[in-house]
Chain A
Amino acid sequence: MAEVNVIKVSKQYGESRALDDVSIRFAEGGLYGLLGPSGSGKTTLLRMIAGFVFPDSGQIRIDDQPVERLPVERREIGMVFQNYALFPNMNVADNVAFGLSVRHVDKSEIKRRVGEVLDLVQLGSLHARRINQLSGGQRQRVALARAIVTRPRVLLLDEPLSALDKSLRVDMQVELRRIQRDVAITTVFVTHDQEEALTLSDRVGILRDGRLIQEGTARELYDQPASEFAATFLGDANILNGRLETGGMRINDGSLIRFGSRSAVSSQTKCAVRPEKIVLQRATGEATPSVHNRLTAQVAHHVFAGVNTTYMLDWCGQRLKVHVQNSGEDLIPVGSQVTLSWSPDSTILVH
């Protein structure tokens, strides 16, 4: 158990900047997701915390002790690899025992701790199985057990669920949370799956091109993304260009979009609106006065998906997207004029 502090870390691979001045703190016992597209530097950051990669500059502190020059085998971390990297020549118990036996822990002590951790991941009955006799979900659990049995200061997971089937993935998400809470080891995982990041983690860091774009709780990142990239990478968003004026943002069609008091106004030139926050109505021609923001657009097409319907709308040469919950009303036909309205609080100013 330990706090991990990454301070102004950079890493260059030839011409490309894998990490560019990244600072992020992982509080003790928390579960953190690093989210980003491929090439964003998230895996480099994970491997740097592990000790497989050393930073060109900057510091990594575990429990306030600088470790950035410490090789992985002396860093006391636990790591779960994307394809689990279980030792094929050993059975389940020997795989889990490996980290203890290379530390020359007592045989009876090894047996006890391996048994304990296998029970924790609910694999107690499979301790003598060979690795090639296990299912994907079981391998995942063995890999996790092997990583936590040494009681590491930090647990690192590289795309932990990506090798599993969709249905198994949801189960393992729940399991992973339970086990992480149980052992209370500071945990950092890497994913490119936004849903995984939102559902699994206490806090999420979004990376892009080697930079940390934004960091916060899933709720914060979803409700108040700071940039267009954050808004569109984590969930869907309609982006409207404009310029700030007193009282709102003047957008392309001339209307003034108001925003809530939570928005931190600086020099933003765009605002974002989540598709599910917009209310859609057939245009009646008369504008009832309201505090809500309003736009008029035309239905281009719609996609019925059971729970909700997604409308694609033409507005000022741009496509807007609106999710309407299915409450039994008829679909608005393609070509109809519609009014979009949303609360100023749902307007997010972004860079």
Chain B
Amino acid sequence: MKQDNTIGSIKLDLPDVSNTPHTPRPRTWSVGAALGAIGYGYVVVMIGFLYLPILVMALMSANASPLYELPFHFTTHWYQALAEDGVLKAAAFRSIEIALWTTLLSTVLGVMASLAFFRYDFAGKRFLQAMLFPPMAIPWLITGTAMLIFFFAIGIGRGLHAILLGHVALALPYVIIVVGARLRTFSPELELAARSLGASGWQITWRVTLPAIAPGVVAGALFAFAVSFDQFVVSYFLSDPGETTLPVEIYSAIRKGFTPEINAISTIIIVVSMGTMLIVSRLYRFGGEQ
């Protein structure tokens, strides 16, 4: 049946819909579901891309063949060898020690700096805040070279103390920025209220401000630990040949020949760091409430 699209003598320019059959919507298939499936597949591929190499490495650390040959034969041999490898073990403990000291120093200094930025207005504040970002963008190779030259020029030289100084300097901007972001959700009125109730500066910091920004402080500390523990370039430049950190030691071990011991220590590091991250993310939802 043709629809009459005229009213009086005026022809209405309407699309003719009367003859178009009403197409039923397919129940089992829609564009949304298709996109959903593609998105899901994409996530699976991404996760695989990230984790498969790590998984292979972990498997090989427990495979008997030193040449990565299959079939897989389970062994703890490489872990035992690692336990007996004094050089790698010493480097690992050195790395952990430096990372812990870096975490402690840069978190304390960084929180203090963030609080200063938060509480006070002073000349050059904006400039100082802006200057926090470039160090993160400058290649570590250049930072490392610059530190080496500078440390020699002022008599600090090379060694673990120089590595620690370098790591604290690298980690500080991360801590200040992460804690500063958390402080932006903190109302300055809370500190005023605490003052009006008679609290001293210390009491305010310990009992009001730090508890409120604790998730940010923990996140900043984790960043600091990661920056230090992962650090290769700057450590490489600043270390004495005999006494260095784990990444540098692994690098020189690989140059001599890749043994599954490296897989073993890498697997341990991954398990420990992922475990820490999981625990922390259970305790704190970053940026949100506790």
Q: Which A residues are in CB contact (< 8 Å) with B190?
A: 85, 87
Tell me, rounded to whole Å, the shortest Cβ–Cβ distance linking A162 to chain B.
14
Pairwise interchain contact A73-B195, C-beta atoms closer than 8 A: yes
Q: Is the Cβ of B192 less than 8 Å from the Cβ of A85?
A: yes
Whether a CB of chain B sits under 8 angstroms from the CB of A285 is: no
**Is A50 located at the chain interface by the 8 A CB criterion?**
yes
Residue A126 is within 8 A (CB to CB) of chain B in the complex: no
A75 to chain B, nearest CB (A): 8
Whole-angstrom distance between the alpha carbons of A74 and B199 in the complex? 9
In the complex, which residue of chain B has the Cβ closest to the Cβ of A89? B211
- State the CA gap A147–B187 with chains docked (Å): 18
Interface residues of A in 74-113 (CB under 8 A from B): 74, 76-79, 81, 83, 85-89, 98-99, 102-103
Kindly supply a per-residue 1/0 record for chain A positions 51-69, scoring 1 wherever the CB is within 8 Å of any chain B CB and 0 otherwise: 1100000000000000000
7 cross-chain pairs, A with B, having the tightest CB-CB distances, nearest first = A99-B197, A85-B193, A85-B189, A79-B196, A89-B211, A102-B199, A73-B195
Q: Does B5 contact A (CB under 8 A)?
A: no
A residues in contact with B187, CB < 8 Å: 83, 85
Interface residue SS majority, chain B: helix
Most buried by A among B195, B196, B198: B196
Say if the beta carbon of A40 comes within 8 Å of chain B: no
B198 and A81 within 8 A (CB)? no
Q: Do B196 and A78 touch across chains, with their CB atoms under 8 A apart? A: yes
Query: Would you call B199 and A73 a contact (CB within 8 A)?
Result: yes
Beta-carbon contact of A77 and B200 below 8 Å: no
Given contacts A77-B196, A146-B197, contact A102 B212 (CB under 8 A): no
Could you name 13 residue pairs across A and B whose Cβ atoms are closer than 8 Å?
A50-B196, A72-B195, A78-B196, A79-B196, A81-B189, A87-B190, A87-B193, A87-B194, A87-B208, A98-B194, A99-B197, A99-B198, A132-B289
For B212, give the chain A residue with the smallest CB separation: A89
Question: At the interface, yes or no: B203 with Cβ under 8 Å from chain A?
Answer: yes
Q: Which residues of A contact B200 (CB under 8 A)?
A: 73, 102
Residue A150, interface by CB 8 Å: yes
Closest chain B CB from A118 CB (angstroms): 16
| B192 adjacent to A81 (CB under 8 Å) | yes
Distance in Å: Cβ of A88 to nearest Cβ of chain B: 6
The residue that A79 contacts in the complex, of B193, B203, B211, B290, with Cβ under 8 A, is B193
Which residues on A sit within 8 Å (CB–CB) of B212? 87-89
- List chain A positions with a Cβ less than 8 A from chain B: 50-52, 71-74, 76-79, 81, 83, 85-89, 98-99, 102-103, 132, 146-147, 150
Alpha-carbon gap, A87 to B192, bound state (A): 11
Other A-B pairs, 13, CB within 8 Å; known A73-B196, A99-B197: A52-B192, A71-B195, A72-B192, A73-B195, A74-B198, A78-B197, A85-B192, A85-B193, A86-B193, A87-B194, A102-B207, A103-B198, A147-B197
Contacting residues of chain B (199-220) with chain A, CB-CB under 8 angstroms: 199-200, 203, 207-208, 211-212
Q: Which residue of B lies closest to A47 (CB)?
A: B192
Query: When the two chains form their complex, are residues A98 and B199 in contact, meaning their CB atoms are under 8 A apart?
Result: yes
B289 cross-chain contacts in A, Cβ below 8 A = 88, 132
Distance in angstroms from A69 CB to nearest chain B CB is 15
Q: CB distance A73 to B198 under 8 Å?
A: yes
> CB-nearest residue of chain B relative to A149?
B197
8 Å CB contacts to A: which residues of B240-290? 289-290
Residue contact A102 to B193, C-beta cutoff 8 Å: no
User: What residues on B are CB-neighbors of A88 within 8 Å?
Assistant: 212, 289
CA distance A50 to B198 in the complex (A): 11
In the complex, what residue of chain A is closest to B199 when comparing beta carbons? A102
Docked Cα-Cα span, A50 to B195, in Å, equals 10
Minimum CB–CB distance for A32 against chain B, Å: 18
Complex interface: chain A residues within 8 A of B193 (CB):
79, 81, 85-87, 146
Q: Which residues of A contact B189 (CB under 8 A)?
A: 81, 83, 85
A146 vs B207: C-alpha distance in the bound complex, in angstroms?
16
Give Cα distance in the complex from A147 to B212, angstroms: 21
State the CA gap A88–B288 with chains docked (Å).
12
Rounded to whole angstroms, the CA-CA distance of A51 and B187 in the bound complex is 19
Q: A102: which of B192, B197, B211, B290 is its contact (CB, 8 Å)?
A: B197
Contacts of B197 in A (CB 8 A): 73, 78, 98-99, 102, 146-147, 150
